[in-house]
Amino acid sequence: MKKLLSDISFEVKKAVKKEIGSVNEALSSCCQKMDGIMDTLATISGKIKELENKNTYLTNQNKHLELKIDAMEQYIGNLEQKQLNNTFEVAGVPEIKDENTEIILNTLATKLNIVKKEITTVKRLKGKNGKEGVIQVSLKQEEQVDQWIKAARKVTILAEDIVSCPDPAIARTKIMIRRALSSANKTLLWQAKQKLKIKYVYLQLK
């Protein structure tokens, strides 16, 4: 009986050791796999951090480039406007066949009581979106532009005062004289008009 119990105890210990060994092997394998997973996670985290740093760098570079582009566009816009500082536009004059812009300007100068001098160019610009183009007048001196604009504000001149207008609706169109604007400033003025048209009837850039 004693020997039987001893044999049973031995076999139980043997079986337990075997099971413990299997468990230890399984745990060891799991630990190795966990170590591998942790190493992989560490590598991925490092790459993610690297990508985040690159993204931050590229974002900053992009902002820097955008600022440079904005500054360049503003500089070019200022140059374009500066080239037009000695130029004004006459709007509201209907275009007629074989028109002579020089004669039109002479008539306008007479109506405004202005001595027409030192004019470099007079031309009709092409209209957009079906609208009639304005007459663009360039002078030698910027100060002379102010004289034309101020004179036009004092009197009301209609299209029929400048050219023959068979259409009564067109004949009563008011002639407007304004400073020539660059494309950028025209866009800016249009946007301002859209926002403020409820409060104001006229807007102009100075």
Going by pLDDT thresholds of 50, 70 and 90, the confidence category of residue 4 is: low
Q: What are the b/e assignments for 91-105, b being 16+ CB within 10 Å?
A: ebbbeeeeeebeebb
Architecture of domain 87-196: 2-Layer Sandwich (3.30)
Report pTM.
0.62
Q: Average model confidence (pLDDT) for the chain?
A: 84
Structure tokens belonging to residue 97: 């066949």
> What sign has the CA pseudo-torsion 62, 63, 66, 67?
negative
β-strand pairing of 87-91 with 176-179 = antiparallel
Q: Which residue has the higher pLDDT, 1 or 134?
A: 134
- Percent of the chain scoring above 70 in pLDDT: 85
Give the tens place of pLDDT for each residue, 142-189. 889 999 999 999 999 998 988 887 688 888 889 999 999 888 887 777
Domain segments of the chain as ranges: 1-83, 87-196
Whole-number Å distance between alpha carbons of 85 and 19? 97
Residue 15 has pLDDT above 70, yes or no: no
pLDDT value at position 136?
94
Please give the angle made by the CA atoms of 74, 77 and 79, to the nearest 5 degrees: 110
